Copies of this chain bind each other. A is one copy, B any other.
Amino acid sequence: MGDKDKLPLALRAAYLAMHRRSDAEFASFGITADQFVLLATLSRGSALTQRELARRMPSDPSTVRAMLVLLEKQGLVERDIHPSDSRARTATLSAAGKRKFRQLWNAGESIRTKMSEAIQPENVAMLIELLTRLAESLNGESLHCSNQTQTSEV
| A interface residues with partner B (beta carbon < 8 Å) | 3-22, 25, 37, 40, 58-59, 108, 110-119, 121, 123-125, 127-128, 130-139, 143-144
Contacts and interface: CB of A to CB of B under 8 A. Distances in A.
A112 B8 contact: yes
Given A12-B37, A21-B138, A110-B144, 12 more contacts: A6-B128, A7-B115, A7-B124, A7-B128, A10-B127, A11-B18, A12-B18, A14-B15, A16-B58, A18-B134, A114-B137, A114-B143
Contacts of A131: 10-11, 13-14
Label chain A's interface by main secondary structure. Answer: helix
Nearest to A143: B110
Contact of A14 (B5, B11, B111): B11
A142 to B, nearest CB: 9
Given A8-B115, A18-B8, A112-B5, A130 B133 contact: no
A58 B21 contact: no
A125 B25 contact: no
A111 B37 contact: no
Contacts of A138: 14, 17-18, 20-21, 111, 114-115, 118
Given A7-B112, A13-B58, A137-B114, A130 B128 contact: no
A17 B139 contact: yes
